[in-house]
């Protein structure tokens, strides 16, 4: 296995794969990441995908592409540089994309048949990467799988600082639907789709229990024992919240995970947000 961009999720995937006896390599950008991964007995290639890199033999290798896209623009040069460097035919190329490529769906349920219609630049970059992979796979006859992943949460991925700072949330009746997946479930699902995913198929990856963004912040606050954040309306949000946050608040969708669940046939460890938060904080709420 070759993991492109081996941060926290990549390390979880690598740990599971190693436990099953699979050899793992990783491509990372920084010397610090290289050192940390070498300590975990992972063979490391250090390269910066913002530039062209040396040829990389991936014949019969399972590629898991987790590297984030660039922070600006609508094109994904990192995927472009990686694809240009590859030689040989990978066994599978799995790309971790985002459900953001669906754009604003007005709170409707969304499955993989819905056409992509990204609005935010970050989602456009992800869709560009998907399309580059699809084109390369068609040219070379590669097996590939695309995962469109919802918001990832976990013990170190909670908005605790924002809640402590008493930053406001959008009023409940105006809040958009959002979707989530626990980091441990994501790692297991990635390996499951790498093994069982149909070639050329797209899978939504989420726990299947969408909620509003405001409810997410409120629920995290309650489990953390913190005061619930204040609520404001959309007009106030336009003047008080960052452009990045507003881009999320202007999109609403409920993502179906039925295709993924039907294929893998396994129950998620954390099927709901509350399941995940109970495990993180070690307690139930009355």
Q: Average pLDDT over the chain, rounded to whole?
A: 96
The confidence score (pLDDT) of residue 159 equals 96
Q: H-type helices in the chain, by residue range?
A: 8-19, 31-39, 77-85, 121-140, 160-164, 183-196, 213-224, 234-240, 243-249, 258-264, 273-281
Res. 137: pLDDT tops 70:
yes
pLDDT in tens, 5-39: 999 999 999 999 999 999 999 999 999 999 999 99
The confidence score (pLDDT) of residue 220 equals 97
The confidence score (pLDDT) of residue 123 equals 97
**Three-state SS for 225?**
coil
The confidence score (pLDDT) of residue 286 equals 55
Please tell me the pTM assigned to this model: 0.95
The confidence score (pLDDT) of residue 210 equals 97
The confidence score (pLDDT) of residue 266 equals 79
Vertex 79: Cα angle to 73 and 85 (nearest 5): 135
The confidence score (pLDDT) of residue 267 equals 87
Q: Are 85 and 56 in contact (CB under 8 A)?
A: yes
* DSSP 8-state assignment for residue 173: G
* Strand pairing class (201-205; 144-149): parallel
**Out of 46-50, 96-100, 235-239, least confident range:** 235-239
User: Helix 77-85 and helix 121-140: axis angle, to 10°?
Assistant: 20
Q: What are the structural domains of the chain?
A: 2-154+181-206+258-264 (3.40.50.720)
């Amino acid at each position: 296995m070759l993991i492109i961009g081996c941060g926290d999720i990549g390390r979880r995937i690598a740990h599971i794969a190693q436990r099953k006896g699979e050899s793992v390599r990783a491509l990372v950008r920084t010397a610090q990441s290289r050192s940390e991964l070498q300590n975990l007995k992972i063979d490391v290639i250090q390269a910066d995908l913002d530039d062209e890199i040396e040829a990389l033999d991936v014949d019969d290798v399972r590629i898991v592409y987790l590297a984030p896209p660039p922070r600006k623009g609508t094109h994904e040069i990192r995927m472009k540089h990686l694809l240009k460097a590859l030689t040989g035919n990978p066994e599978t190329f799995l790309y971790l994309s985002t459900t953001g490529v669906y754009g604003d769906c007005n709170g409707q349920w969304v499955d993989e048949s819905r056409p992509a219609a990204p609005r935010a630049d970050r989602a456009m970059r992800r869709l560009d990467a998907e399309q580059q992979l699809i084109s390369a796979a068609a040219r070379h006859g590669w097996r590939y799988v695309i995962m469109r992943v919802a918001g990832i949460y976990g013990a170190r991925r909670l908005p605790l600082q924002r809640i402590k700072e008493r930053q406001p949330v959008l009023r409940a009746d105006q809040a958009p639907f959002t979707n989530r997946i626990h980091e441990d479930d994501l790692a297991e699902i990635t390996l499951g789709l790498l093994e069982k995913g149909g070639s050329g198929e797209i899978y939504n990856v989420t726990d299947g229990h969408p909620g509003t963004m405001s409810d997410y912040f409120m629920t995290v606050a309650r489990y953390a024992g913190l005061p619930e954040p204040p609520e404001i309306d959309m007009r106030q949000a336009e003047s008080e919240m960052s452009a990045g946050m507003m881009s999320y608040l202007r999109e609403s969708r409920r993502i179906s995970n039925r295709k993924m669940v039907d294929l893998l046939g396994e129950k998620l460890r954390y099927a709901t947000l509350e399941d995940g938060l109970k495990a993180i904080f070690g307690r139930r709420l009355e």
